[in-house]
Amino acid sequence: MTTAQLTNAELRTANTHLSGETIMLLLNEALALERQTDRRQRAVHEERQRQAVVARRLAAARRLQRRAESASRRARTLLASL
């Protein structure tokens, strides 16, 4: 007999308590899902941090390049004035 065929009285008296083994299985599944979510969130966080580091390095490199170009222009101006 399927659940759809059970009467209200049968449903009320049916054993709704889970066995310890079933509870442990459900707990382990819940913990595994939580760990997967944690791993995904950690991976996303690490990728964001990596991108932030790359962006900072790129910004620093651009600043250094602008300074070098400016110094080069000043040096050419000084040499031309000699």
Q: What is the pLDDT of residue 34?
A: 86
Q: HSE on the CB side for 43, CA within 13 Å?
A: 6
Cα distances (angstroms) measured from residue 82 to each of 54, 61, 70, 72: 42, 32, 19, 16
Q: Percentage of the chain with pLDDT > 90?
A: 43
- pTM (2 d.p.): 0.52
Q: What is the pLDDT of residue 14?
A: 61
Domain coordinates in residue numbering, the chain: 18-81
Pairwise CA distance, residues 45 & 11, whole Å: 47
Q: What is the pLDDT of residue 24?
A: 87
2-17 pLDDT per residue, tens: 545 666 666 666 666 6
Q: What is the mean pLDDT of residues 45-69?
A: 94
Using the Cα atoms of residue 69, residue 71, residue 74 and residue 79 in order, give the sign of their dihedral.
Answer: negative
DSSP state of 15: -
